[in-house]
Amino acid sequence: MSTSTTPASTEKITHRMILSTSGRIHVAEQGSGPLVLLVHGFPESWYSWRHQLPALAAAGYRAAAIDVRGYGRSSKPAEVAAYRMLELVEDNVAVVRALGERTAAIVGHDWGSPIAANSALVRPDVFRAVGLLSVPYAPRGGPRPSEIFARMGGEEEFYISYFQEYGRAEAEIEPDVRGWLAGLYAALSADTMPPAGAPDPHFVSRGGRLRDRFPTGRLPAWLSEDDLDVYAGEFERTGMTGALNRYRNMDRDWEDLARFDGAPITQPSLFIGGSLDASTTWMADALKAYPTTLPGLASSHVLEGCGHWVQQERREEVNELLTGWLASQS
């Protein structure tokens, strides 16, 4: 174990590697007490929880933020199928066990939200509570995901469909990782996102690129140049394929999770989204279904005027909601 100093006053965070079926998972942790596992989304890393680690530690919890398989210092298997949901669930179980715990609360943002939700669904013996940020829980069901996303956008291509072809998005992103990340972060942040009526950055014109619709010129208020350096440095070193392979497994997940079709998550749960976040607003019906799909829901919050990166854009509110919810479980 080592102590690392990075931007945003994370000098007390310790880092370790844990063995898993993928090889290794990198974990950044702080504090002692009941374990809270934090799972990031795309395109981020453990660093997206830099504001929550000290807040949870101060509240009496052992906070552990992972680099998801394919990201940062965690292993990056070559096979696309190695990034299927059930493999990521087992990574999370391996982390809990390696940290010497039997159970944990799990909290996820963006892709981390369905990873956290499915961890709670598949392994309720390990994950005693689940917090979901930005992406609401929606049980497995309906047509294959690839069929749903292919129908979105009309003449334009939805970003998830754009990500499916191996190497295509990589060719756009990897020549200028820092610039691409800055554009994406700005496109989905409340203070820098394109104005209403502008072309939607979640879609690609035929023959175009995602970044064609990203704003330029300034970073969102939550993101410093040093923060951007941390994110860019990770992806410049690792490339983007491991991260993108998560998107390339949605149909496999749909097949793997067939036995959970329509299944609710019954553990105590929490949802936090942003009113300006498409990940939240597009799934308004999923929020309405929570009495059925999340019967253990303690509370659901849509933060007014907040974009996609909720725990970074509105860190104090999110920290208060998380610590209050966790305290209510004890």
39/132 Cα distance (integer angstroms): 10
Pick the catalytic residue: 110, 227, 253, 256? 110
pLDDT of residue 21: 84
Weakly modelled stretches of the chain, pLDDT under 50: 1-11
Name the 3-class secondary structure at 36.
strand
- 40 has catalytic annotation: no
pLDDT of residue 302: 98
| Chain centre to alpha carbon of residue 108 | 5
pLDDT of residue 3: 38
How many of the other CB atoms lie within 10 Å of CB of 257?
20
Token code pair at residue 15 = 């880092």
Name the 3-class secondary structure at 131.
strand
Pick the catalytic residue: 26, 40, 109, 308? 308
Q: What's the CATH number for 2-328? A: 3.40.50.1820
Among the listed residues 40, 51, 131, 53, the one whose alpha carbon sits nearest the alpha carbon of residue 88: 40
Among the listed residues 281, 47, 272, 309, the one whose alpha carbon sits nearest the alpha carbon of residue 192: 309
Strands (E), 34-122: 35-39, 62-66, 104-109
- 308 has catalytic annotation: yes
pLDDT of residue 5: 36
Q: What is the DSSP string of 188-226?
A: TSTTTSPPTTSPPTTEE-TT--GGGG---S---TT--HH
DSSP 8-state secondary structure symbol assigned to residue 155:
T
How many of the other CB atoms lie within 10 Å of CB of 94?
17
